[in-house]
Structure formats: C-alpha cells, structure tokens
Structure 1
Amino acid sequence: MEENDDKTMNYPIITKDYKAGAVILAAGDYPKNEIPLCILNNAEYVCCCDNAAVTYIKNGNIPDVIVGDCDSLPKEFKEKYSDKLKVEVEQEFNDLTKATRFCISKGYKDIVYIGATGKREDHTLGNISLIVWYMQEFGIYPIMVTDYGYFVTAKGLNKFGSFKGQQVSIYNLDCKKINGTGFDWPTYAYQWIWQGTLNQATGNEFELDADGSYLVYRTFDAKDKL
C-alpha cells in the first residue's frame, strides 16, 4: 500500500505479481488459485504456522521459519527441521498471532496471509477478525488472500484499485459513516454484517470515506466470470 500526502492510502489490486515482504501460511486450505500460489512462491520471507509447514514442504518448498506451539508436528519432522522452529507454548494467542509478532520482530510490516480460511469455520471467522486487530494493535495493514479474492483492513478515507464488475464487500467495524464512490449501490454505515456484502465496482477505482475502521473484500474476477 502507498500512503498519500494527506495520510490516505492507495490499496492496489492484488495480482499474481504482488511482491509480499512476508507471507504467513496458515493451516487452512492450501491455495489452488494461481494468484495466492504465486504470491507464496515469490515472497521474500515465508513463515509457516505450525502444521502448515508439513503441507508447504510436501509441495516442494522450505519455509524460512515455523512458528507455533508445534504440538501437532510429528517428532521426526521437528527433529529434521529443528533449525526452522520457533516454539511458543503460551496459549493466550493463536499461532497466526504468534507468527505475526515474529514477522514484525524481523522488520516485516507488509504481511500477506494465505491458507487462513477453509476447513473449520470458527477458525476462518477468527482469522479474518484478527487482521483487523493487527491493524489496530500492531499498526500494520495486513492482506488476507484466498482462492477467490482478498481482504484488506482500512480506516478513514482511502482509494482502492478495482475494475468494472469486481465484486466488493464492505464490513463496518466501528463507523458511524461510510461514504463510497465508484459503486453500483450506495454505501452507508451498515449495522449488520450482511448489509455491506455483494456491492460492485463501476470502474478502475473506488473510494471509501469513513470515520472509523472497516474491512474490504475484493474478488479476483468480475461477476460474469465467477
């Protein structure tokens, strides 16, 4: 993301060419879509959450670090990759947060999360909500990429790269106003999660002006291709 002179942010379209500083790979569904796979393969630094390392290595890769309580890793695996393990046994925070703190300690603020959705629905919901907490607690602007699109966290006035027909969902967190331009349907400070879903971009950019924090989801494909 790029910060403008007035402290607003420009959120680019995420493509397979996006170069992440760090990718945190969680143990949800391993990506199949070309875009998250390319981002994962081209990342400067790959941090696996605990058991996600097993799948990552089975796919022919070696992570830079494996972070978590490591209780689900086979003994032989832990012995073989002992030089990659960063074991954190405290249970107040989950492995995604432990991995985030570790990447931040290494100087990474441009963090992309992959494999954080799928499998258990409670983990999916928890992980999506966590990236908002990371923005507020750690001062970073995470990106969570799935096989279908990507979530970003935002606050205040921002511009988002888009294209005609892109499906956009906006989730109000603590806003009393959300004014948007570049959409098929008007935006407002939604009271319920479902109210901000399934809007649609009209061109190559949309803007959101809010008095608080919000979450934005954008699809990779236009509606007629989904």
Structure 2
Amino acid sequence: MSSHHIVREKQEPALLIANGESCDPELLGQLLEWSPFVVVLDNAIWRVLDLGIKVDAWLGDFDDAHDFEAVRARQYPIEIVHTPDQNKTDLHKGLEFLIERGFPAVNIVWATGRRADHTLANMTDIVRYKDQIRMVMLDDYSKITPLTGPFEKWFAKNTPISLFPVGTVEGVQTEGLAYNLHDESLTLGYRTSSSNAAAEDGFVRIRYRSGDLLLMECWD
C-alpha cells in the first residue's frame, strides 16, 4: 500500500497515523491516495510497516527499545525524529512537527479506540492547534473536526451531526439541524448537542461566540 501518487506535497493534507485502533483498510487507502506525506507516531511504526505503507517521518519519544536499523532496512528513506518532551503527547508532537514544516492540513487516523484516556485526550487536545493547521480525525465510525469560526456545509437529510464543547462554548446558534440551538451555551459533561441530524437535504450552519467546539459526523 503506497501513499505516493500524483499530488503535490503541502497542497494536500498530510496523513498522521497514531497508535490507537486501526481503521478499515479501505478508509486508510482512500486517505493515502491524497496524502503525499505520511507521519507515524512511535510504536505504530511496526503495524504500519506490515501494511506496506510508504512512511516519510517516524516520530516519538522512543521510550521503548527500537531497532532503528531494522526500520531503515524496511523503509528507506525515512526521517526519524526523536521528541523526548514528556509534557506533550505523541499527537501534540506530530501536529507541531507538521505545523513547523508548513503543512496547511492533516488527516489523523488510529487516534481513537483502545485506551479510553488516549482517545479522550486525542479528541479534545486537537483544539489547541485549530488556528495553526486544519485537522480532521477519522475512524470507521466518526469524522471529527475542530471548528475555527462560522461553519457551513451541505449535508444529506438525517446525516448524524453532534456538537461537543471542549470546556464551555458560548452563544451557539445553528440552522438546518433537527434540533437547532439559539444563542445557547454548551459545557462538556453537562450539556452537549449530541445525536442531532440534518433536518433536510441542504446546508447546516453553525456559529458560536467563544470557546472550542468539535463537529462530529458519526454513523453506526
């Protein structure tokens, strides 16, 4: 499975592969078609190499012993980046690496599932980088996007849409949902707008005054 096709680096989203639950190979293949640059986080490297994916950069604190020459033998050329900062997660480091390299956007996979603490941290921590790089986190059941301001997109009727605040979000207003919000507040753990849906075929519009808001498109 190769990631290198006729696309231009830094004009298409990079692909960041974490170490959570694997996604469906078809989803991964679709993302690789449009990702000329692939970053793998720490211990996920062996799972990725076994899939035959072309990896451009391997990044992590490398606390576990690794045979770096064995990786190079299976994947050459590859940039190996040691990021020992224990105050940051591997996902933080991967996103900061791509921001420093000037990538405008990234698709993130294998960041959910398995450990609940890692999943929750990955889903919520991405908001800190929302103004520096466009992000979409995907798995077999969800597409998660941190909003950066007013949002408008066409959806088919009954498309499941959930809004999750990271902390508190004030002044949320929506149009086009089955249950619209009218200048309301959402707070994680107390009130969200989950299991909503597009009311009709057409545009859904979301605005909010302050805070960090995740848009989730989820399906069973």
1:114 to 106, 109, 113: 109
Aligned-pair distance for 1:60?
A: 1.2
Change (3 A) 1:88 1:78: farther
Q: How does 1:118-129 map to 2 (within 5 A)?
A: 118-129=113-124
Q: Which moved more, 1:142-151 or 1:156-165?
A: 156-165
Distance 1:63 1:204 in 2: 39
Counterpart CA distance in 2 for 1:200 and 1:33 is 27
Give 2:88's aligned amino acid: F
Query: Which of 204, 207, 213 is matched with 1:206 structurally?
Result: 204
**CA separation of 1:183/1:140 partners in 2, compared to 1, >3 Å: closer, same or farther?**
same
**TM-score, normalising length from structure 2?**
0.82
RMSD of aligned residue pairs (Cα, Å): 2.2
Aligned residues: 201
Taking structure 1 as the reference length, the TM-score comes to: 0.80
Match of 2:161 among 147, 168, 176: 168
Picking from 23, 31, 35, the partner of 1:39 is 31
Corresponding position: 1:153 with 2:146: yes
Q: How far off its partner does 1:71 sit?
A: 2.6
Identity of aligned pairs, percent?
Answer: 22
Unaligned runs of 5+ in 1: 1-18
Instruction: Please show how residues 1-226 of structure 1 align to structure 2 within 5 Å.
Output: 20-32=12-24, 34-72=26-64, 74-75=66-67, 77-78=70-71, 80=73, 83-135=78-130, 139-173=132-166, 174-187=168-181, 188-193=184-189, 195-202=192-199, 203-212=201-210, 213-219=212-218, 221=219, 226=220
* Aligned match of 1:6: none
Which structure features the higher share of helix residues? 1
